[in-house]
Each structure stands twice: as structure tokens, then as C-alpha cells.
């Protein structure tokens, strides 16, 4: 099993550009989440999904969109990148009551 696959691993964007961070899991997990990790802070939840077709906002959703058209995929879209979105992004998935499996992360720099 590949687990949780995130792409790309690194990305540099100019302010105002848009992009999509991809996340795919092959474990048939219902729950998927996106987090950002910033220095000196714990991971913070951006958006999450409890199943295909269902998404909800987390702690820091502004500037990001998500969709969950299939169980496997949970892409994160940056609509108009800002320097404040420079961060490391992690996707995670889990089954009900199970531990989370994390992707390897995407390091995003917005200049």
C-alpha cells in the first residue's frame, strides 16, 4: 500500500498565483484532513472531510478550498497565494476510530 501520497513535495509560487496540492490515499479511509505546520506552532486544521461529497472548515480555512469527489482524493486549492500561506502542508487520513496516517508533506513558499 502506498498510504497517503502528497504531491508536489516542494513548490514556489508568486503572490496571486493559484495551485492545487494533491492528496490521495489507498486505504479506503473515510476521514481526510489538511493541516499546515508553521514554526513554533502546532499543526492547524485547514479543512476536513468525513466522506465523499462532504467537507467542512477547520481552524484556518481562509484562502483555501477543498473538494472530495471520491473517497481516495482530497485536493487542496490555493485560490490566490499570499506570503502568509508559506508553510508545510500535511494531508492525513484515517478510518473511524483509527489513528491518522500522514502524507510526507508539501513545502510551499510564496514570494
User: Which residues here bind another protein, judged by CB under 8 A?
Assistant: 31-33, 35, 40-45, 48-50, 56, 58, 90, 92, 94, 98-105
Q: Least distance (Å) from another protein to the CB of residue 110?
A: 20
User: Residue 58 or 63: which CB sits closer to another protein?
Assistant: 58
User: Residue 14 or 41: which CB sits closer to another protein?
Assistant: 41
Q: Least distance (Å) from another protein to the CB of residue 80?
A: 26
The residues with which 47 forms a beta bridge, in sequence order, are: 34, 57
Q: CB of 32 within 8 A of CB of 49? A: yes
Q: Least distance (Å) from another protein to the CB of residue 38?
A: 10
Q: Which residues contact 36 (CB under 8 A, 6 or more apart)?
A: 43, 44, 46, 60, 87, 88, 89, 90
In whole angstroms, what is the distance from residue 76 CA to residue 65 CA? 6
Amino acid at each position: 500500500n502506498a498510504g497517503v501520497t502528497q504531491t508536489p513535495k516542494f513548490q514556489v509560487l508568486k503572490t496571486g498565483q493559484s495551485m492545487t496540492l494533491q492528496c490521495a490515499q489507498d486505504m479506503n479511509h473515510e476521514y481526510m484532513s489538511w493541516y499546515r505546520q508553521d514554526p513554533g506552532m502546532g499543526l492547524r486544521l485547514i479543512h476536513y472531510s468525513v466522506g465523499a461529497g462532504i467537507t467542512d472548515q477547520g481552524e484556518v480555512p481562509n484562502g483555501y478550498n477543498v473538494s472530495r469527489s471520491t473517497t481516495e482524493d482530497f485536493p487542496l486549492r490555493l485560490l490566490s497565494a499570499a506570503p502568509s500561506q508559506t508553510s508545510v502542508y500535511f494531508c492525513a487520513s484515517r478510518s473511524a476510530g483509527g489513528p491518522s496516517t500522514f502524507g510526507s508533506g508539501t513545502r510551499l513558499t510564496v514570494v
